[in-house]
Structure 1
Amino acid sequence: MSDLAWWQRGVIYQVYPRSFQDENGDGVGDLAGITARLEYLRMLGVDAVWISPVHPSPMADFGYDVADYCAIAPLFGTLGDFDRLVAHAHELGLKVLLDFVPNHSSDQHPWFIESRTSSDNPKRNWYLWRDPAPDGGPPNNWLSRMGGSAWEKDAVTGQYYYHAFLREQPDLNWRNADVRTAMDRVLRFWLDRGVDGFRVDVLWLLIKDALFRDNPPNPQFKAGEPDHHRQLQTYTEDQ
């Protein structure tokens, strides 16, 4: 017998729900559709099913902008549908993995809606807020992976918030113990429902430089590469 754990030796099959199988005929794939195909996946030799995000979301980034970490988007079904999926998977000997998106939430998440109401709100430090530079521009030169500055000025307080991806995806502040506790509860919520594990999205981006220093230019940058490749990600990755 191999000493490797199941997740190290098994075959993991990713399912993108909305384009997988539509069971209710509304033109969008759903949890019931995944459940209906589990026996087929088992027949293929799959050991675990990794399900891309199914949480409530404005879908600015195809579900990777999460508005509620502990719920199922009605587009895909209900928590009951999810429980039935997990139960049937386990009956077949399949593991179920969820996509966990801890680096950022949707700007429609209640945490961020509260965070942006004022500079002294208790949730303010759940995200990365900074004063403008002396010229009124972004706090530093960090670039978004979607192009342009990674800082968005918010009209309510005049500060900028950081977003490594879309402006609709503000980054959470993982140096804040309350954020870590909240995310622990998210993981526990799904583990208690029988989930076997998680695929963690952009884990290497969770912690940013505490001093918010400018990233240095990338001497190897070539025209046509993504905009953020203009910089070495010295202070925005692998902290």
Structure 2
Amino acid sequence: MNRYYSVAALSVGVIADVLPAFTPCKRMIIFDPLAMGTPLTMFPNFIVAVRIYAIYARNKYLAAAMIIYLIAETGVALWIYLTPSVHSIQLPGPESITDSLTLHQCLADDSQNLSSLQAASFQIMQTIFDSCALALVLFKTYREFMGPKPYRGLRSIIASHGLIYYLVVFSTNISWALMVLLATPDLKYTMAVPTIALAPLAANKLTLSLRRYGCMSADASS
């Protein structure tokens, strides 16, 4: 789902930005938050949660805590985007340019009844999850990750790639949260697309790194 749904959803988003068949804006206004933003944030989260569950010896209490938090985060996202609804933002510039073939992108804004802090709560919860996930991974893998290089194994790979994932996803999410909190309406969601595009990519890197390690171990044992 993380690998193929993300490609499909992002492809539809790109096509919608360049084909006039997807205008007027109301036809696609709900697609970005509900078909792209929320699932392309949560799919990588579950991949990270499964990795943490594995390195903590399938700790059921930790798994339950992560599941409850991710369900709550999903609920907050749905609350933001459906209460009462998102609306479009008029791009700056003459109407003839805004409605042109190449500049008809529809930007979604949340309800004006929400404060900036409420509107950014989804991104804030995501940065909290990313930070806690990294802390849990490093706590469990610190000794192996910091040990001599010849003795580094699977856990050090999980730790190093987890750090890379954190730097990518945390930096984009915190930038998105700050933009929602501080930027003007026509700019505050400019970090949305880079964030939701990079998160599945980084999660796929985590998965492929484990697969490569498994292949190398199988070759070495044979």
Which one has a larger percent helix, Structure 1 or Structure 2? Answer: 2
Using the size of structure 2 for normalisation, the TM-score is: 0.30
Which one has a larger percent strand, Structure 1 or Structure 2? Answer: 1
Structure with the greater relative contact order (CA < 8 A, sep ≥ 6): 1 or 2? 2
Using the size of structure 1 for normalisation, the TM-score is: 0.28
